[in-house]
A and B are shown apart, each in its own frame.
Chain A
Amino acid sequence: MSNLLNSLKIELRRGTLTLAVLSQLRTPQYGYSLVQSLEGAGISIDQSTLYPLLRRLEKQELVSSSWDTSESRPRKYYVLSEFGLEIFSELKKEWINNSKELYSLLGEGDDDENEFN
């Protein structure tokens, strides 16, 4: 039961992960700073998923990357490309619309319950 619930929860979150990451990359971030800002917003992300995801986004040309070697520790920074910004705003719209629809759908269910009680 709890196993099933967990896997369903993971499934629910999976699609939102890309959106969450894209939202944070409007300003340049390196791997760990991205983890921290996501966690700061209450979104915990499996790190073994996040780093490959960043590479994939780069391959899809949604983000661009650059090495900053000016400090003692070299860091790879990622930031949204112009194309990535476009995609991000589309996805954002989509997500907001979906949430609204789902919210009203879930609200209906609550009404039914109330009627029966």
Chain B
Amino acid sequence: MTMRTNLIEVYIQEVTRRLPEKMRSDIALELRSTIEDMLPNHHTVEDVKDVLNQLGNPAILANGYKDQPMHLIGPRYFDVYMSLLKMIVPIAAVVSLITIITKYFIGFSGEEALLNSILSLIGEGIWTLIQVGIQVFFWLTITFALLERFDKDKEQLPLTSGLEKWTAEDLKNVAYISKKKTISKLEIFGSLMWTAIWVTLYFYANQIIGVYEGDGGPLEFVMPALNQDVLQQYGLIVLIIAGLEIAFALYKLLKEQWTKRMAIGNTLLEVISTIVFIIILIKPNFLSEEFVVYITNLFTITKEQFNVWLIGGTIIILIITAAASIYDGFKKANIR
């Protein structure tokens, strides 16, 4: 008798321990009376086992009572989850890579062997990518698993990325993308990388841009070419431009293709940044004095000639690349 009772009690306990406190006693009572109903009057241990087998796995029974999903992310959220994952992972990867490369440039003293530095950079890069991937995956999954559990709206229809039910109106937001106007991930990666590189060069110009000398031995940084004080004066506005560039790159990543609005935004960005850089370039003490002296001695040209040649040349290159980028943007936006 005890053996039989014991089996039943253990079964009931296995069910109820998985349930919220307030449901337990009522369900235990009902289960016990149901099991006794199912048993013949004079029953054996085998009868009890038979009945419990009919009721099945206590975990499944308990889950039925809880009315909660036995999955992390169900069909309702899976689509949104996947598209967010695909969008956030590359962004996080790019941002973290840029951080590493920037750190590398700042820390690069020129003393270590270049090959070693590059190898350790690659190693650190791969490791960081793995970490970032795991982090993004973890937090996004946690978020959606919680959403799945706390969403009281029990409608089982899958949601669109706006977390709304899909209607035909949504098609308006999904433009048909022709191959020629699409923006590749590589392009976005490239532009983010470029931003990181020029910002680094700008703020660490007195350690990176300048004259290097080496008599057969390792190169040594002799003198900076630019006047860091002048650059620092424009630091804030340059940072704003860099921020705008990053924002624009992320906007391109979201839109996936060139649009008129994007081309206009690109134009504004190019015009503003070109103007700002020209203003910085034509500052009289933009080039450091010692650098100008060094060059004029080296190439036997006058100070003015050198200024015109370098500053003028740089301005022309700036304007040409900006114009090319503006033209390219409108050309791609106009493709049907």
Interfacial chain A residues near B187, Cβ < 8 Å: none
Question: Within the complex, which residue of B33, B55, B65 is in contact with A47, where a contact is CB–CB below 8 Å?
Answer: B55
- Beyond A32-B38, A46-B56, A56-B67, whether A51 also contacts B61 by CB under 8 A is yes
**A59 to B152 alpha-carbon distance, docked (Å):** 14
In the complex, chain A residues whose CB is within 8 Å of the CB of B64: 48-49, 51-53
Residue among B31, B36, B57, B67 making CB contact with A51, cutoff 8 Å: B31
A56 to B30, CA, bound (A): 15
Instruction: List residues 47-100 of chain A with CB under 8 A from any CB of chain B.
Output: 47-49, 51-53, 55-56, 59, 67, 73-76
> Number of residue pairs across A and B with beta carbons under 8 Å?
50
| A30–B60 CB distance below 8 A | no
Collect the chain B residues with CB atoms within 8 Å of residue A56's CB: 67
CB distance from A1 to the nearest CB of B (A): 25
B5 nearest CB across to chain A (Å)? 14
Q: Report yes or no: A74 in contact with B33, Cβ–Cβ below 8 A.
A: yes
Q: How many residues of B contact A (CB 8 A)?
A: 19
* Complexed CA–CA distance, A66 and B67 (Å): 21
Most buried by B among A30, A52, A59: A52
B56 close to A47 (CB less than 8 A)? yes
Band of interface residues on A: 10 to 19
Is A51 a contact partner of B30 (Cβ separation < 8 A)? yes
**For the complex, what is the distance from the CA of A114 to the CA of B36, rounded to whole Å?**
54
Instruction: Give the chain A neighbours of B27 by CB distance below 8 A.
Output: 55
Least CB distance, A78 to chain B, in whole angstroms: 10
Determine the chain B residues whose CB is within 8 A of the CB of A55 once the complex forms. 27, 65, 67
Give the docked Cα–Cα distance between A67 and B26 (Å).
10
Please name the residue on chain A nearest to B39 by beta carbon. A32
Which residues of B from 20 to 66 have beta carbons under 8 Å from A?
26-27, 29-31, 33-34, 36-38, 54-57, 60-61, 64-65
Which of B31, B37, B60, B61 is close to A73, meaning CB atoms less than 8 Å apart?
A: B37
CB B327 to nearest CB in A, in angstroms, measures 58
Interface centre among A30, A49, A55 (most CB of B within 10 A): A55
Give the distance in Å from the alpha carbon of A30 to the alpha carbon of B36 in the complex.
12
Q: Is the interface of B mostly helix, strand, loop or mixed?
A: helix
A44 to B67, CA, bound (A): 22
Check if B60 sits within 8 Å of A48, measured CB to CB: yes
Which A residues lie within 8 Å of B60 (CB)?
A: 48
Q: Closest A residue to B29 by CB, please name it.
A: A74
Measured between alpha carbons, how far is A75 from B31 in the docked complex, in Å?
10
The reply to whether A48 and B38 form a contact with Cβ atoms under 8 Å apart is no
Considering the chains assembled together, what is the distance between the CA atoms of A47 and B30 in angstroms?
Answer: 13
Residue of A nearest to B62 (CB): A52
From A30, A48, A52, contact of B37 by CB (8 A): A30
Interface pair B61/A48, CB less than 8 Å apart? yes
CB–CB A31/B30 < 8 A = yes
A73 with B54: CB separation less than 8 A: no
Q: Bound state CA distance, A33 and B38, in angstroms? A: 9
Q: How far is the CA of A51 from the CA of B54 in the complex (A)?
A: 12
Query: How far is it, in angstroms, between the C-alpha of A49 and the C-alpha of B31 when the chains are bound?
Result: 13
CB distance from B151 to the nearest CB of A (A): 17
- B65, A52: Cβ atoms closer than 8 Å: yes
Interface residues of A in 24-49 (CB under 8 A from B): 30-33, 46-49
Q: How far is the CA of A53 from the CA of B63 in the complex (A)?
A: 11
Q: What residue in chain A is nearest B56 (Cβ atoms)?
A: A48
Known contacts A48-B60, A48-B61, A51-B61; is-contact A76 B37 (Cβ 8 Å): no
What's the nearest-Cβ distance from chain A to residue B16, in Å? 13
**In the complex, what distance in Å separates the CA atom of A87 from the CA atom of B60?**
28
**Residue pair A48, B29 in contact (C-beta under 8 Å):** no
Task: Kindly list chain B residues whose C-beta atoms are within 8 Å of the C-beta of A33.
Answer: 37
Alpha-carbon distance A65/B233, docked complex (angstroms): 78
Q: Which of B62-78 contact A (CB under 8 A)?
A: 64-65, 67
Give the Cβ gap from B67 to chain A, nearest Cβ, in Å: 6
A-B contact pairs, 6 of them (CB 8 A): A31-B37, A33-B37, A48-B61, A49-B64, A51-B31, A73-B33
Q: Kindly list the 7 A-B residue pairs having the minimum CB-CB distance in the complex, ordered from nearest.
A: A52-B64, A32-B37, A48-B56, A31-B34, A48-B61, A76-B30, A52-B65
